[in-house]
Amino acid sequence: MLGFIIRRSLTIIPTLLGVSIVVFLLLSITPGDPAELLLGERATVESLEAMREYLGLNEPLHVQYGLFLKRLIKFDLGETIWTRQKVIVEIKERFPATIELSLAALFLACLFGVTLGIVSASRQYSIFDYLSMVGSLIGVSMPVFWLGLMLMLVFSLHLGWFPVSGRIGVNTELEVITNFYVLDAIITRNWKAFWDVLQHLALPAVALSTIPMAIIARMTRSSMLEVLRQDYIKTARAKGLSETKVVLKHALRNSLIPVITVIGLQFGILLGGAILTEHVFSWPGVGKWIYEGVVKRDYMVIQGGTMLVATVFVVVNTLVDILYAVINPRISVK
């Protein structure tokens, strides 16, 4: 088992190296001169030249990549082109916001996804089953952008239940300690801020959760249906157990194994999905930051952001694999 864990963990390194090369090459073949973008219509030849020199764009490609890699090993992602801040500092400022949002969305997705899946499977072909599967189909295909705006129109403008955008109200004071606002509010026992933060979190979390929720619901349903056909379920039923007990006690545990994998995958995807959600809801996380980095062709932001998302994705997947092996030891033998 330990051997498996070590081997599995070591695969992270070549994966990330591959990601770094792909990102670097993609950026270098994409047209668009950051110096021109930075200075706009007004740029003179002299100021452009000075800017390119400053940004190191005059160096040959392999030298630029080498420098990037050298810094990467030291966990230094360089400075952004636009704000001149350390990329690592910028990520640190924004990452908690993204994690907070992603966890909230994941929580909603699991809670409702698994519940929907169980109920649908146990009442296959019922009206509820149809409704929830149609609902999850809509959930998968709904553009986050549109959904976000609709949520705002209904729940903010018309009903006034939730704030429109942002992470905390302008007039709400909160002492920032961990930069996870929910946590900070609890630590400082600032219940007014706690409530305010939760309200701000609600709509973007809902918007972000729809796709994973739908996927988890469908996965749970089909996995559950498969398990329900197994002999031991028939046995359990034959023993005279109540249907609820059969479903929740005997079937659920086994059907959740593939669902865990999906949930793990979804967490990585959530980080990517956060890019659009954060943009729509003006959520100050890494997603919005990467989005703007792409628009402004800020190489350092794109590189740093992609490396971050890739790392999280790969690490979470590795953890899921390991967890999987722990739950089901047959896996590690392969």
Query: Which residues sit at the interface with another protein, rule CB under 8 A?
Result: 31-34, 36-47, 50-51, 54, 82-85, 90, 93-94, 130-131, 133-135, 137-138, 149-150, 152-154, 156-158, 160, 163-167, 170-171, 279-282, 284-285, 288-289, 292, 297
Q: How far is the CB of 143 from another protein (least distance, A)?
A: 13
Give the nearer residue to another protein in terms of CB position, either 264 or 287.
287
Give the nearer residue to another protein in terms of CB position, either 151 or 270.
151
Q: Which residues pair with 79 in a beta bridge?
A: 86
| Residues near 315 by beta carbon (within 8 Å), at least 6 away in sequence | 12
Give the nearer residue to another protein in terms of CB position, either 100 or 321.
100
Give the nearer residue to another protein in terms of CB position, either 250 or 279.
279
- The phi-psi region of residue 252 (left if phi > 0; otherwise alpha if psi is between -120 and 50; otherwise beta) is alpha
| Residues near 331 by beta carbon (within 8 Å), at least 6 away in sequence | 321, 324, 325
Give the nearer residue to another protein in terms of CB position, either 14 or 31.
31
Q: Which residues pair with 86 in a beta bridge?
A: 79
Q: How far is the CB of 111 from another protein (least distance, A)?
A: 22
> What letter represents residue 189's amino acid?
R
Give the nearer residue to another protein in terms of CB position, either 34 or 78.
34
Q: How far is the CB of 118 from another protein (least distance, A)?
A: 20
Q: How far is the CB of 150 from another protein (least distance, A)?
A: 6
